Structure 1
Amino acid sequence: MRSSRALVAGVLAGGLVLATPMMASAGVGGKPDPKVLSDQMVAPFNLALSAPDIYVADGFIGLVGTLQPDGSLAPVAVDQPGASGVATSGGTLAFTTTVSDEVTGENTASGLNIWGPGGSKISADTHAYETAHNPDSVNHYGVDKPSQCVIDSFTAVGFPYDYTGQIDSHAYSVAAYGSGWVVADAGANALWSIDSSGAISTLAVLPPQPLTVTPELAAAVGLPSPQCFAGGVTYSFEPVPTDVEVGSDGALYITTLPGGPESPVLGARGALWKYTPSNGKLVKIAGGFLGATNLALGLKGEIYVAEYFAGKISLVKKNGQKSDYLPLQNVIALETDADGALWAGTTITLDPSQPAAPGTIVKVKDGKPGKALGLH
């Protein structure tokens, strides 16, 4: 199953946008006091905060730009299909792009663009690397040894029931990592390490995400013959990594948006992970997110998670305790700057049954005094 297509086509065009307050009230007693700096966005999938600039990757209009005082984007890279991830390091800009077939939905090209000082431009072709290596082919998805009744039920609705990782690259988010970059690939279900020359290697493969399908759940998602699932049948979904950030401890923090239907009927299945490259250890920090599309690291070990389908930002403390932080309709991107200020990007509302809202860039909370990031 091509898991990454649900991220853009499904997450945005699929139409599940919950009716939540557009913004929390003004900050009182240490609560967030969000300020809308732009309502001219469409789909700001990721932000990069490099004082004094605020970089935005707006994927629906294929633009990477910097936010201006009037709320517009000054173009930095135009005609960039599926632009989603953006990061900066030492005067170098990196951003991801993905080309998808409009008819089949297949991703036909994807990669990381590395634009350095002096006009240098390097392209790292993650689609070609995935085609050659397909690291998540080691993962088994679907049902292990399904009964004929289960096979028939899934086949009737065109849903895969037993397969290993397929070739699919959707380079979605990027972060500066050492002297190079780390990319979360939502199609390959992997993290890539990409050096300054554009050479790619596999850093980690995310594990399948199991869910017990009961007769009640089968009926709720429209599977025929729900009695086939009596006693519960385990289905392993693809993990779909959506964001990666590098912590001060050298660990990588990752959000995942498990494949398959992302509606609340299957429950809040998104997760937050910590991966330690030095020993290859992957630990699940927290789960229960409804559409975990992005994360941001705070200065005191706290982690913010964007829950797109829940219309809110959640806060995860060092001990893994999860709590609501701020209602924010259509939130899809989060980032903290060097001073600890929290920023967010929200998409336009595409579901006509839900309250209309523009795409925005929001400064959610201020950070410590320092070299302020702002518009100039």
Structure 2
Amino acid sequence: MSRLRTALPAGFAAATALVLVASPAVAHGGGRPDPKPPAVTDVVGGLVGPLSAAVGPRGTTYVTQDFAALVTAVRPDGTTTVLHAAEGGAEAAGVSYADRTLTFTETFYGTSPVSESAVVKTVRTDRAGNPVGEPTVLADIHAYETANNPDGGVSYGLLETDPACVAQVPAEPVSPLYTGHLDSHPYATTSSHGTTYVADAGANAILAIDRRGVRTVAVLPSQPYVITAALAAEVGWPECTVGETYWFESVPTDVEVGPWGQLYVSVLPGGPEDPTLGGRGIVYTVDPWRGKVRQLASGFVGATDLAVTERGTVYVAEMFGGKISVIERGAPRTLVDVPLPGAVEWTGKGLVATTNALPGEGAPPDGHLVTVTTGPSRGHGHGGWHRGWGDDDRHGPGSWFDRGKR
């Protein structure tokens, strides 16, 4: 993370007051508690903005401390080792691990509201998961964005509103009409069969990196929202906008490879990220070969990360909902309540997750890595084919995650 945001969206204070406690899961059909409700166990605390994580060998979990620009290894006993420190104020994020290779991203903002550089880096590891040699650049995502701008042809805003009404809408704090602009923020990575997939929260797209270079897999669909009288009054919009549809950017926060090679993608809506406008987060599946995007589930309050089991069960970290959910029949069901979850990963036996991923107002960063048991039946079901405005974005209401989360 390039810098710690000084004005947290409304709802953060309430979210940070949540207690780390497991909610009893409900058994299918009978309405009775599962024999073994989810249990949350603390592994380590004191992390500075742990917004992404990856499962490594021998019980190791790799965690990015985004606010401190660090990639850290956490052993099962809670001991930590810094594996990489991004230089020059760059953000370290998007860690993943596959085939004895550690992959992560670095994005630099400087004083600009859009990124000045963004790359994906890799480093080989030994059998214990320790880096061998120095990280190297796998791909220059900023250069690809500059040359291609995947969502440059996508229009956002009041697309179906009378132009006479749009003309009355002030340019600040929210642009009434605009097209996708140049910005790259590679926020999550995953690799499979020689291809690394990237969720780019600036480009609003899923990218793929292989031996041929970088390509766009899919640009994610924009998200409609009907403007209410209260929202129009809050942002100083004229009465003619009430009842009109505003099309927000779709900001990907994670990408994972699921069964049969399908990609699973979690998405934050542009605009307010807390519950102000309701649960607008979505999980999509993306065909990595044809780029077809299908909605798997919606209704998430801040879908900042997801995990997919080998059988297709999908877990989602709802940062601003204060919980980790499991997708059932196209909708989220609370698995466990945890404060401000940033990342969630499937280990093969249960989940690891980061909590307290953002600091409370006036409180020092104290992110945690935890393990979460999922009960005897979790991980084997099939999940299916699965407030503040974006004030960092002078072009339009993207997302705090979209614009460097600063």
TM-score range, shorter chain: 0.7 to 0.9
Is it true that 1:138 corresponds to 2:145 in the alignment? no
Asked whether the equivalents of residues 41 and 370 of structure 2 are also in contact (C-alpha less than 8 Å), the reply is yes
Is it true that 1:32 corresponds to 2:30 in the alignment? no
Pick from 283, 303, 321 the counterpart of residue 314 of structure 2.
303
Asked whether the equivalents of residues 208 and 236 of structure 1 are also in contact (C-alpha less than 8 Å), the reply is yes
Measure the CA separation in 2 of the matches of 1:25 and 1:293: 20
What is aligned with 1:209? Answer: 223
SS at match of 2:159: coil
SS at match of 2:182: coil
User: Structure 1 residue 15: deviation in Å?
Assistant: 5.8
What is aligned with 2:193? Answer: 178
| Percent identity (aligned) | 36
User: Structure 1 residue 149: deviation in Å?
Assistant: 3.7
What is aligned with 1:274? Answer: 285
User: Structure 1 residue 176: deviation in Å?
Assistant: 1.0
What is aligned with 2:351? Answer: 342
Measure the CA separation in 2 of the matches of 1:357 and 1:125: 30
Measure the CA separation in 1 of the matches of 2:7 and 2:192: 29
What is aligned with 1:74? Answer: 81
Structure 2 portions without partners, runs of 5+:
26-33, 126-131, 377-406
The superposition leaves residues 226-280 of structure 1 with CA deviations (integer Å, 9 ceiling, x where unpaired) of: 42224x1111111000000000221000000011122322221110001112333
Measure the CA separation in 1 of the matches of 2:292 and 2:365: 41
Is it true that 1:364 corresponds to 2:372 in the alignment? yes
Letter in 2 for 1:29: P
SS at match of 2:235: coil
Measure the CA separation in 2 of the matches of 1:69 and 1:278: 37
Distance 1:95 1:12, change over 3 A: farther
Measure the CA separation in 1 of the matches of 2:211 and 2:98: 11
Distance 1:263 1:218, change over 3 A: farther
What is aligned with 2:118? Answer: 110
Measure the CA separation in 2 of the matches of 1:203 and 1:308: 26
The superposition leaves residues 140-182 of structure 1 with CA deviations (integer Å, 9 ceiling, x where unpaired) of: 1111254344443342x33111111111000000001221210
- Taking the TM superposition and a 5 Å limit, the aligned residue runs for 1:4-43 are 13-14=8-9, 16-17=11-12, 18=15, 19-24=17-22, 29-43=35-49
Letter in 1 for 2:115: N
What is aligned with 1:59? Answer: 66
What is aligned with 1:331? Answer: 341
Asked whether the equivalents of residues 184 and 242 of structure 1 are also in contact (C-alpha less than 8 Å), the reply is yes
Tell me how large the CA RMSD over aligned residues is. Answer: 2.7
What is aligned with 1:45? Answer: 51
SS at match of 1:268: coil
Distance 1:175 1:358, change over 3 A: same
Letter in 2 for 1:47: A
TM-score, reference length from structure 1 = 0.86
Letter in 1 for 2:168: D
SS at match of 1:351: coil
Measure the CA separation in 2 of the matches of 1:144 and 1:187: 21
Letter in 1 for 2:292: K
Is it true that 1:239 corresponds to 2:245 in the alignment? no
Measure the CA separation in 1 of the matches of 2:218 and 2:322: 29
Measure the CA separation in 1 of the matches of 2:275 and 2:64: 28
Pick from 226, 240, 249 the counterpart of residue 228 of structure 1.
240
User: Structure 1 residue 12: deviation in Å?
Assistant: 8.9
Asked whether the equivalents of residues 60 and 82 of structure 1 are also in contact (C-alpha less than 8 Å), the reply is yes
Distance 1:12 1:171, change over 3 A: farther
Distance 1:12 1:173, change over 3 A: farther
User: Structure 1 residue 225: deviation in Å?
Assistant: 4.5
User: Structure 1 residue 83: deviation in Å?
Assistant: 1.1
What is aligned with 1:312? Answer: 323
| Bigger mean CA deviation after superposition, 68-77 or 131-140 | 68-77
Distance 1:105 1:278, change over 3 A: closer
Asked whether the equivalents of residues 13 and 350 of structure 1 are also in contact (C-alpha less than 8 Å), the reply is no
**How many residue pairs end up in the alignment?**
354
The superposition leaves residues 282-312 of structure 1 with CA deviations (integer Å, 9 ceiling, x where unpaired) of: 1111111111000011344221111111111
TM-score, reference length from structure 2 = 0.80
SS at match of 2:276: helix
Letter in 2 for 1:78: A
User: Structure 1 residue 24: deviation in Å?
Assistant: 1.7
